[in-house]
């Protein structure tokens, strides 16, 4: 069969089958205007909870000023080429030294993109003789890097240290024969649940087994720990983490990352946690299940199907002017809906209260069956 002919007959799978209705609304939604809590969606202002802008730096005037000065001085193309050939500068080196000092490591290396950087790091670190042991809720970028590994790999149940130890025993037996080493991979903050990786538990197992730890702290860098050094600082295990990977796309609101960080963010941190804690406490007080969320990612769990998820999301966006990401099967099990809320330092307590009230109303409507039909009823806020 011709490739294009097959594609024309393909329904698109669990997500793609809804592409005609979802395109431009659930998939590739058009959010416009200044990056922040208030944006424009389909021509109307909405309260947005979907930006990975943890510290509210995306439109910070100081950041914009420096960005404009750099563009005027260096242009948008410099430095040209890959760093190995023509794209390396003293500025790269200076920044890498600062990142290494910040994370208390000997050296650091910058990534153009966090996702590809993580994939490359895992692929480069491990040989066919090595064994990778990883958390079964690891992010897609970690899984893609792990898939490239042609040696043995074992996954352990999420944050389950007993299961991790069982896998370490097996891995230890394997490397005794292959002459390789063991790399344990975890996340600092899990992006879909907001749960923290059990770094302290993993580090404790180093007393019994020989392995290295790689932590993907994309959602922890800049916000976790007393000085924003990440989840390893939060658990006071910075010296025990062998490979620390941070990304700028969450806290710093820019592209890129590093493998192995500024003072003005501390004040932002204080207010960020005020908003985050108030929002998470509010959801829990209302009886919503947000799981073990402690970091910024706040998943609001609701029982329902794809139709109900669609209608609730449309009600939030059209009638309440609240924009947040909706996650359904196959990303999560059938019968469950997650509305993924991401508080930032730019949100206000009024935003928190408004959103909590809206979700309280939404749950009442869900209980009454308002979202069971194929079309969203006209449920404007009185």
**At residue 382, does pLDDT exceed 50?**
no
Which has the minimum average pLDDT: 99-108, 178-187, 218-227, 323-332?
323-332
* Predicted pLDDT of residue 201: 97
176 within some domain: yes
**At residue 334, does pLDDT exceed 90?**
no
Asked whether residue 288 falls in the same domain as residue 336, the answer is yes
The string of DSSP codes covering 212-272 is EEEEE-TTTTTTSSTTS--HHHHTT-GGG-SEEEEESTTTT-SS-EEE---TTHHHHHHHH
* Predicted pLDDT of residue 377: 53
In b/e form, how buried is each residue of 272-297, taking b as 16+ CB within 10 angstroms? Answer: beebbebbbebbeeeebebbebbbbb
**Confidence tier at 264 by pLDDT (50, 70, 90):** very low
What's the pLDDT tens digit per position in 217-243?
Answer: 999 999 999 999 999 999 999 999 999
Phi, psi of 296 (to 5 degrees): -65, -40
- The residue ranking higher by pLDDT, 28 or 11, is 28
Of 209, 232, 260, the residue at which a domain comes to its end is 260
Domain membership of residue 219 as a residue range: 104-260
Which has the minimum average pLDDT: 154-168, 178-192, 253-267?
253-267
**Confidence tier at 381 by pLDDT (50, 70, 90):** very low
Asked whether residue 243 falls in the same domain as residue 145, the answer is yes
Asked whether residue 30 falls in the same domain as residue 54, the answer is yes
**Confidence tier at 84 by pLDDT (50, 70, 90):** low
**Confidence tier at 262 by pLDDT (50, 70, 90):** very low
Of 240, 260, 280, the residue at which a domain comes to its end is 260
The answer to whether 56 and 71 are in contact (CB under 8 A) is no
The DSSP element (H or E) to which 319 belongs, if any, is: none
The answer to whether 56 and 270 are in contact (CB under 8 A) is no
Percent of the chain with pLDDT over 70: 93
* Predicted pLDDT of residue 267: 45
Specify the CATH number for the domain of residue 19: 3.90.1150.10
Question: Taking the CB of residue 88, how many other CB atoms lie within 10 A of it?
Answer: 13
**Confidence tier at 24 by pLDDT (50, 70, 90):** confident
Percent of the chain with pLDDT over 90: 49
**Confidence tier at 253 by pLDDT (50, 70, 90):** confident
The structure tokens listed for 225 are: 């720990």
**Confidence tier at 153 by pLDDT (50, 70, 90):** very high
Asked whether residue 276 falls in the same domain as residue 248, the answer is no
99 within some domain: no
Question: How confident is the model over 188-203, as a mean pLDDT?
Answer: 93
* Predicted pLDDT of residue 265: 35
Q: Strands across the sheet with 325-327, in order?
A: 298-303, 336-341, 325-327
Question: How confident is the model over 120-140, as a mean pLDDT?
Answer: 90
Asked whether residue 147 falls in the same domain as residue 241, the answer is yes
């Amino acid at each position: 069969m011709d490739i294009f002919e097959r594609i024309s007959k393909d329904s698109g799978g669990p997500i793609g089958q809804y592409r005609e209705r979802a395109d431009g609304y659930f998939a590739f939604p058009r959010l416009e205007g200044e990056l922040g809590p208030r944006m424009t969606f389909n021509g109307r202002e909405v309260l947005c909870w979907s930006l990975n802008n943890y510290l509210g730096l995306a439109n910070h005037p100081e950041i914009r000023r420096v960005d404009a000065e750099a563009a005027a001085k260096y242009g948008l193309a410099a430095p040209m080429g890959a760093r190995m050939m023509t794209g390396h500068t003293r500025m790269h080196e200076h920044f890498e030294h600062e990142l290494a000092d910040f994370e208390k490591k000997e050296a650091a290396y910058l990534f153009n993109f966090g996702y590809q950087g993580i994939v490359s790091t895992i692929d480069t670190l491990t040989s066919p003789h090595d064994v990778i042991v990883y958390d079964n809720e690891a992010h897609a970028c970690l899984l893609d890097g792990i898939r490239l590994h042609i040696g043995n790999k074992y996954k352990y149940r999420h944050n389950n240290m007993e299961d991790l130890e069982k896998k370490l025993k097996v891995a230890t037996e394997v490397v005794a024969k292959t002459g390789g080493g063991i790399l344990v991979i975890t996340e600092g903050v899990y992006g879909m649940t907001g749960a923290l990786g059990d770094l302290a538990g993993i580090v404790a197992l180093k007393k019994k087994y020989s392995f290295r730890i790689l932590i993907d702290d994309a959602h922890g860098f800049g916000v976790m720990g007393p000085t924003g050094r990440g989840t390893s600082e939060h658990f006071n295990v910075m010296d025990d983490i062998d490979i620390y990977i941070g990304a700028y796309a969450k806290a710093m609101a820019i592209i890129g990352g590093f493998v192995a960080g500024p003072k003005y963010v501390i004040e932002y941190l204080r207010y960020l946690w005020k908003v985050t804690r108030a929002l998470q406490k509010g959801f829990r007080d209302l009886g919503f299940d947000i799981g073990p969320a402690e970091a910024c990612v706040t998943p609001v769990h609701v029982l329902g199907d794809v139709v109900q998820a669609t209608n609730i999301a449309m009600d939030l966006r059209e009638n309440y002017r609240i924009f947040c990401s909706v996650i359904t099967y196959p990303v999560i099990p059938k019968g469950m809906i997650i509305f993924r809320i991401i508080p930032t330092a730019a949100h206000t307590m009024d935003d928190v209260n408004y959103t909590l009230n809206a979700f309280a109303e939404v749950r009442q409507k869900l209980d009454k069956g308002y979202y069971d039909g194929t079309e969203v009823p006209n449920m404007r806020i009185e």
